[in-house]
A and B are shown apart, each in its own frame.
Chain A
Amino acid sequence: MTGNSKSAAIEVNDLVTHYGSREILHGINLTVHAGEIMIIMGGSGSGKSTLLRYLLGLGIPTSGSIKLLGKDITRISNLEMNQLRQNMGVAFQGGALLSSMTIGENVQLPLREHTRLDEKTMEIMARMKLEVVNLGGFEKLMPAELSGGMTKRAAVARAIIMDPKLMFFDEPSAGLDPVVSAELDELILNLRDAMKMTIVVVTHELESAFKIADRITVLDQGNILMTDTVENIKHSDNERIQSLLNRRPSNDEVQADEYLNRLTGI
């Protein structure tokens, strides 16, 4: 990589997206540097999951550009996108392992589809990645036989099988007990340190966010409130950020007329 894009693994410019006729993201600008762990944080309905979908190329934005590893995914061809996808790994919230295959087959799937390695090599590679996530010896099990934490780790193994440069996590600690969730945080840090990945984590878990983040982006109602280091976010005087950090209910000013109109349905 050369020039300006040297340190930027992800560049989002003026991203506007709609769901039906409703505008969800109102012009997002975001830069993620190569090798950093960026946390995207925000309450429910803040647009953080939507932002992730678009970063993954799962939706077509209304306007704006999304550059991953220097390539604008809103403009490149399907073929280029497919090549780019081999450099991206995604761990979905529920794991999203294919339920008709064993864990081993799931982890091997990207290899099977994108490479021409022989069976034995693929098996060994899958076992290696399963060892990385502490699931050695589980490759014969079906996804339904795993616990929540194991499923998520297996999903990580599948996501890193192609040794991606970019890694995305969707709510890694959702639904996990604190110990397992801490293990997963550890795993994310290890991945960055050992494999030099750029990692984007979408979460609303403060504790894990503060532990692993290099920088944090706070989303609120489709806008970015702030993108900064953990310290600066903690000391921000923005009211909405503080209520998110301190788990205070947001006290939006009630607009009397609007409220009445909503109730009466006019």
Chain B
Amino acid sequence: MPESSSHPVINTLELVGRSTVKLIEEAGYYVALLIESLYWIIAGPFIKRPVRIHSIFAQMMTMGIAACPIVFVLSFSIGVMLAIQMIYNLKTFGAESQVVVGVALSITREFGPLITGILIAGRTGSSLAAKIGTMQVNQEIDALRVMGINPVRYLVSPALLAMMIMVPVLTFFSDLAGLLGGAVYTGIEIGLSFDAYIERTLSALVVADVMQGLFKSLIFALIITLVGVSNGFSVTGGAEGVGKATTRSVVLSISYIVIADMIFTYFLNL
């Protein structure tokens, strides 16, 4: 047991130090996990231990396709919400028609990837943590290992690959849904026709705007998978541990997503 010092300042300092070390340790674990799963994806087929295609597609279905309705609803609402706010703001300058540009840029560069990331963190990140955590508690992970099946290859690589494909796809879908939301509201409020809206959107957007969002969504996919999976693997203490890990992974991945979003947005717009 660590010796407790009597001085509160020392105690606080020690606590800060310990949590910093823990955070760095965890970051190291994410990186190691990433490298190992990429190793299996790339080198697996050559040593006759491939990542199962079937499993990747199954995960893409549950993580991606099944999330489409909720992504559509949320993104559409965000599109409408943005249009309302921007029309209200732009009215002061009498420039309501500029709403199209505002919505197009906000959605593709920021809101599409962010809302998708947050949604997938809550939906898939938690389910990854819960699934792997439960497997850990039930000794299923041990069982895989003693059968000579590497848990990272079997569980993490397919999830990572599926996420890195599906989160950008969902983000693009979210962009479209958001723009549609904007178009519908703008059409009702200031009577802009749908065709005109599309035309103006296309002329306002350049490929780089959409790409920036998609690139960020790829980073989000990595964050969600690694945080979810590593929290799952580190579960101890039965069902309660699984619950804790699930909560922790959602909170952590949403926090990391928002922070990463800020950092990447800054550097991508230098």
Contacts and interface: CB of A to CB of B under 8 A. Distances in A.
B69 interface: no
Interface in B111-145: 131, 134-135, 138-140, 142-145
A114 B140 contact: no
B148 interface: yes
Contacts of A57: 145-146
A90 B148 CA distance: 11
B143 A58 contact: no
Interface in A54-72: 56-58
Contacts of B143: 90, 92, 96-98, 155
Contacts of B134: 99
B142 A96 contact: yes
A110 B138 contact: no
Contacts, number: 52
A85 B140 CA distance: 16
B183 to A, nearest CB: 41
B149 interface: yes
B138 A99 contact: yes
A22 to B, nearest CB: 11
B147 interface: yes
B140 A90 contact: no
A85 B131 CA distance: 25
A171 to B, nearest CB: 11
A258 to B, nearest CB: 16
B154 to A, nearest CB: 8
Contact of B146 (A58, A97, A114): A58
A98 B147 contact: no
Contacts of B147: 85, 109-110, 113, 158
A58 B142 contact: yes
A148 interface: no
Contacts of A155: 143
Nearest to A84: B148
Nearest to B145: A58
A7 interface: no
Interface residues of A, number: 25
A94 B131 CA distance: 17
A223 interface: no
Nearest to A109: B147
A82 B139 contact: no
A219 interface: no
A57 B150 CA distance: 13
A93 interface: yes
A114 B147 CA distance: 9
A86 interface: yes
B255 to A, nearest CB: 29
A53 B140 CA distance: 14
Contacts of B148: 81-83, 85-86, 110, 113-114
A53 B146 CA distance: 10
Given A98-B140, A99-B140, A90 B135 contact: no
A58 B144 CA distance: 11
A88 interface: yes
Interface string A71-83: 0000000000111
A114 B48 CA distance: 9
A82 to B, nearest CB: 4
Interface in A10-45: none
Contacts of B146: 56-58, 85, 88, 90
A170 to B, nearest CB: 8
A109 B131 CA distance: 18
Interface in A86-112: 86, 88, 90, 92-94, 96-100, 109-110
A53 B139 CA distance: 11
Contact of A97 (B131, B140, B145): B140
Nearest to A161: B147
Contacts of B149: 109-110, 113
Nearest to B142: A58
Contacts of A86: 148
A98 to B, nearest CB: 6
Contacts of B142: 53, 56, 58, 92, 96
The 3 A-B residue pairs whose C-beta atoms are closest, nearest first, are: A85-B148, A96-B143, A96-B139
24 contacts: A56-B145, A81-B148, A82-B148, A83-B148, A85-B146, A85-B147, A86-B148, A90-B146, A92-B139, A93-B139, A96-B139, A96-B142, A96-B143, A97-B140, A98-B135, A98-B140, A98-B143, A98-B144, A99-B140, A110-B147, A110-B148, A113-B148, A113-B149, A158-B147
